[in-house]
Amino acid sequence: MIPQHPITSDQSINIGENACDKPEEACGVFGIYAPEQDVAKMTYFGLYALQHRGQESAGIAVFEGTHVHQHKDMGLVSQVFSEAILEELPGNLAVGHTRYSTTGSSRKVNAQPAVVESRLGNLALSHNGNLVNTIQLGEQLVKSNFNLVTTTDSEMIAYAIAQEINSGADWLTGAMNAFKRCQGAFSLVIGTPDGIMGTRDPNGIRPLVIGTLDSNPVRYVLASETCGLDIIGAEYLRDVQPGELVWITETGLESFQWHEKSERKLCIFEMIYFARPDSLMHNETLYSYRIRLGQRLAKESPIEADIVFGVPDSGIPAAIGFSQKSGIAYGEGLIKNRYVGRTFIQPTQSMRETGIKMKLNPLKDVLFGKRVVIIDDSIVRGTTSRKLVKALRDAGAIEVHMRISSPPVTHPCFYGIDTDTQDQLIAATKSVAEIAKQLEVDTLAYLTWEGMLETTREDTNSFCSACFTGNYPVAIPERVKRSKLILEKATI
């Protein structure tokens, strides 16, 4: 029997009115093996640092020997957990999750970690990414009499592991056999009575890093990003490699390569937008990469103007880089209200009509009479961008030039980013000139695909950029493909 602390709300989060006109990340995952530490509290802080990766639900499962204590609910990490709740989660290892729904709706039953029983005991699984063969995998599990209680692919992965173990495999063999049945993107942290596993799919589409705690013996931490390590004082060791499984127990960390033909295809949007700017990738902070994006953008698409600023917060580093390269003064033209999207109270109709001011408020004395360049990291539907341009003009800007530090988003993602169907992506149906006219900007320019990749200073073939090109590194089944690719077929 798994103790389950009561879930306080049956309410699904309504993100309709306050939905950001951006791609939304799927999840953040965290795991820690540290018998001497308060692992529940450390997991809480790890998830707190990863809150930007998902704001719909949060959960922690802690293993105390063979017993699992868990608590999960809808809401932000700070809303779901309290000191009293964390004190009721004793144990020596923990896994945690903060969620934005992709496969599986935003309901409490779909909150993670997913905890299932097996022949060797319970396992708790936290998943970042999205499988593309959920239909096939689900049918296999139903035929084997597994009762799926959620609508998530994450639960299917957990049951696939349990199925392998119930057939006689040990933890490692069972997990690796199950991973081979999964297609798509998955970075997983899995708790068991014996230790913690961490793995990435053979393309490493979603990130997962390993950290160490200064202790004797050395203890290990897993997190989606290095910012999840920093907050608890863990040191970044390395990334989990594509197709690798790491096994963390009392004896330390072991590594197993379960897929022989791994080829890294890290989601480029992790670097452009999703991951926090203070997180490390390729031995530098993403802030540095985003500065270079802005510098390259200024080189590719110069403009004469009086001030350049970014859309808070994700557009700011590129705006600084644009200013450095162009010589245009950098300033703040917009102030962000970081809390308005955290309420269930719906705005009045008149507030909806001026909705952009709920989140972003222009500085009128900074903008009045100025030619402005506004930098953003992407445009998905264009609805927010158009409201933003109007707000800048209402504040007195005499010219509004928009620059985007990524190429046009023309294809939906199937690997864990919540994007619209293709016909809802503005760049899939309109040219840059047509988008500029719809947004009512004086000029509009995007960063080139080549500029985006070359600026990484890494092998340009080691990234997934399917949302810009339609070249998907993992083949998408026709049935799944038809659900989002309305206008044209992707090149697989």
Q: Which two structure tokens, joined as six digits, stand for 442?
A: 């004086």
Residue 27: active-site member: yes
Degrees, nearest 5: CA angle 263-406-238: 40
Which residue type, as a one-letter code, is found at position 70?
A: Q
Q: How far apart are CA 30 and CA 99, in angstroms?
A: 12
Catalytic residue among 20, 27, 182, 227: 27
| 198 CB burial (10 A radius; 0-12, 13-18, 19+) | buried
Distances 456 to 291, 421, 446, 450 between C-alpha atoms, Å: 11, 28, 17, 10
Per the annotation, does 376 bind a ligand?
yes
Find tokens 């392998």 and name the residue.
Answer: 164
Q: How far apart are CA 307 and CA 324, in angstroms?
A: 12
Residues listed for the chain = 492
Q: How far apart are CA 154 and CA 127, in angstroms?
A: 6
Q: Is 383 within 8 Å of 356 (Cβ atoms)?
A: no
The SS3 call for residue 218 is coil
Looking at the DSSP assignment, which residues form a beta bridge with residue 31?
95, 222
- Could you count the other beta carbons within 10 Å of the beta carbon of residue 124? 29
The SS3 call for residue 88 is coil
Per the annotation, does 377 bind a ligand?
yes
Per the annotation, does 20 bind a ligand?
no
393-407 per-residue burial string, b: 16 or more CB within 10 A, e: under 16:
bebebebbbbbbbbb
| 35 CB burial (10 A radius; 0-12, 13-18, 19+) | exposed
Q: Which of 424, 418, 346, 486 lies closest to 105 in space, CA to CA?
A: 418
**DSSP state string for 168-216:** T--HHHHHHHHHTT--EEEEEEEE-SS-EEEEE-TT--S--EEEEES-S
Strand duo 463-464 + 266-267: pairing? parallel
Per the annotation, does 467 bind a ligand?
yes
Per the annotation, does 314 bind a ligand?
yes
Q: Cα 168 from chain centroid?
A: 35
Q: Which residues are annotated as a binding site?
A: 267, 314, 376-377, 413, 464, 467
Q: Which residues are annotated as a binding site for Mg(2+)?
A: 314, 376-377
Q: Which residues are annotated as a binding site for [4Fe-4S] cluster?
A: 267, 413, 464, 467
Q: What amino acid positions are annotated as catalytic residues?
A: 27
